[in-house]
Structure 1
Amino acid sequence: MNMNTTNPRLAVGPLILAAMIVLACLSRLLPHPPNFSPIAAVGLFGGAFFASRNSALLVPVLAVVISDVALGYINGGLYGDYVGSTGQLIVLGATVLCTVIGFALRNRKSSVAVATAAVASTAMFFLTTNFGAFLADPQYPKTVAGLGMAYVAGIPFVKWSLISTLMYSAFLFGGFQLLRSGTPALRAQTV
């Protein structure tokens, strides 16, 4: 029997990728240290594995939005104002940039390449979101010193961002490779 990789009945790979990304994002609902988040890792993972660039960009963003809405529902007013805010749009933009970094991993998913991309994504996420905080938050004067204040304020959170991005990347990339190695239908398709 010929395994046709375009047969919709066999196209479980993209569904598994999407499910892994959504589950990783929903882990944000569990108690965690500040900035311990799967967001950068899901962008990398989507960019590295989805054959369709549109899916690679869309699925991580939708998963972040779903988890943001869930956080808003659970936390009410504390988080509800975040959904649809400039802050959320900046995070979603940073997620897209992480996905673009993930595109570079498509043909080389070694541990070193994934770890390097995770560190680069963490740095990019830090630079992007703190620049956004500088622009959006009136507490920062719109000067070079104000920009410096925004970046200094974010430094205590970088450690947790880096640890979580490395951990979630290992879980997602390693977990999917394990699934592929044990599932012939996944090995036979381009996802």
Structure 2
Amino acid sequence: MKQSVNPRFLVLLSFIGLMAAMRVANSVDLSPVAHFTPVGAMALFGGSYFTNRWKAFGLPLLTLWLSDLVINGLLLDGKYGLMYDGWYWIYGIFALIVWFGKTLLQKVSVKNVLVASLVAALSHWMLADTSVWLAGGTDLRTNLPLSRDFAGWLQCIIQGIPYMRNFLAGTLVYSALLFGCFEWLQTRYPKLALARVQS
């Protein structure tokens, strides 16, 4: 007997695909909500709802990679080559955010989504900006390389605050949409909730 496709899996995958499309649109200012990204929400969402560990980590990471290829290859005409410098740091941070979704959002609630979004944004900020400093980033005040000491690291963290705010805003807004819509769908279509063990 042929096994039917799990409707929960299809809906979850559609939601993640929609976030990837929003990310592509935001990257070139094609949407009215540009300058904040859905990737944090996408990682938390995948981590929270996919019970299978390979799907939880693999599908959001694959979606991030595919959207990176579209952004860089088609929209930026290959400006950064195949992948941008330091991509492995960002993907590692993204995987960590998926793990936050698995651990902090085992029970989805407004409070838990807020906490997970804040933890995701702060972690992304500290880790991504530390990777910029380690790679010899630039002091935006002087256009000189950041000093290789605590003061240089601190300056890198401080100049990353506007990006962190955008990441946090995007994670909060897109998480509200993703988690809110899927929780509502589960109440309207109980089959989506019952299929959880198979997702």
* TM-score, normalised by the number of residues in structure 2: 0.84
Residue 190 (structure 2) pairs with residue 189 (structure 1): no
Aligned-residue offset at 1:53: 1.2
Deviates more, 1:97-106 or 1:46-55: 97-106
Q: Paired residue for 2:153?
A: 147
After TM superposition, the structure 1 = structure 2 runs for residues 40-119 of structure 1, keeping only pairs within 5 Å, are: 40-72=40-72, 73-78=74-79, 80-81=80-81, 83-119=82-118
Residue 193 (structure 2) pairs with residue 171 (structure 1): no
Aligned-residue offset at 1:169: 0.5
Amino acid at match of 1:64: L
After the TM superposition, which segments of 4 or more aligned residues of structure 1 sit over 4 Å from their partners? none
Aligned-residue offset at 1:18: 1.8
Contact 2:118 2:168 in 1 (8 A): yes
Give the Cα–Cα distance (whole angstroms) in 1 for the partners of residues 161 and 132 of structure 2: 13
Q: Deviations over 1:40-87 (max 9, x none)?
A: 111111111001011101111111111111111112144x43x43442
Q: Paired residue for 1:3?
A: none
Aligned-residue offset at 1:105: 3.7
Q: 1:17 aligns with which of 8, 12, 17?
A: 12
Deviates more, 1:44-53 or 1:177-186: 177-186
Q: Paired residue for 2:140?
A: none
Number of residues paired by the alignment?
A: 182
1:189 match: secondary structure = helix
Contact 1:126 1:158 in 2 (8 A): yes
Q: Paired residue for 1:4?
A: none
Deviates more, 1:174-183 or 1:58-67: 174-183
Aligned-residue offset at 1:10: 4.3
Q: RMSD between aligned alpha carbons? A: 1.8
After TM superposition, the structure 1 = structure 2 runs for residues 110-129 of structure 1, keeping only pairs within 5 Å, are: 110-129=109-128
1:141 match: secondary structure = coil
1:9 match: secondary structure = coil
Residue 136 (structure 2) pairs with residue 130 (structure 1): no
Aligned-residue offset at 1:146: 1.7
Contact 2:69 2:83 in 1 (8 A): no
Contact 1:41 1:165 in 2 (8 A): yes
Amino acid at match of 2:23: R
- Structure 2: segments with no counterpart, 5+ residues: 138-144
Aligned-residue offset at 1:144: 1.5
Give the Cα–Cα distance (whole angstroms) in 1 for the partners of residues 117 and 48 of structure 2: 12
Q: Deviations over 1:114-149 (max 9, x none)?
A: 111101100001011101111123522322122112
What is the percent sequence identity of the aligned residues?
Answer: 26
Give the Cα–Cα distance (whole angstroms) in 2 for the partners of residues 8 and 176 of structure 1: 24
1:28 match: secondary structure = helix
Deviates more, 1:141-150 or 1:64-73: 141-150
Contact 1:140 1:146 in 2 (8 A): yes
Aligned-residue offset at 1:26: 1.8
Q: Deviations over 1:134-187 (max 9, x none)?
A: 112352232212211211110122221111100011111111112222224312
- Relative to structure 1, the CA distance from residue 66 to residue 142 in structure 2 (aligned partners, 3 Å threshold; closer, same or farther) is same
